[in-house]
Amino acid sequence: MSTEKSRRSEKIQMFDDVARLIVGAQFVYFVTYKGLKKTRLFP
C-alpha cells in the first residue's frame, strides 16, 4: 500500500515537472515573439 502511494506521488511529481516545463517554454516563446515583433524582424 505504501509503495502504491509513493508511486502515485512520483507520477504527480513527473506531471508537475512536465507542466512547469510547458509553462516555461510558452513564457520563453511569448517573450521572444514580443521581442522580435518590437525589432520588426517579423511583419
C-alpha cell of residue 10: 512520483
pLDDT greater than 70 at residue 43: no
Question: pLDDT (tens digit, 9 = 90+) per residue, 4-20?
Answer: 888 999 999 999 999 99
pLDDT at 5: 87
| pTM (two decimals) | 0.56
Which amino acid, one-letter code, is at 10?
Answer: E
Asked if residue 1 has pLDDT above 70, the reply is no
The pLDDT, as a whole number, for residue 19 is 96
Judge contact between 30 and 36, C-beta under 8 A: no
Distance CA 33, CA 36 (A): 5
pLDDT digits (tens, 9 = 90+) for 17-42: 999 999 999 999 999 988 888 776 65
How many beta carbons lie within 10 A of that of residue 22, not counting itself? Answer: 10
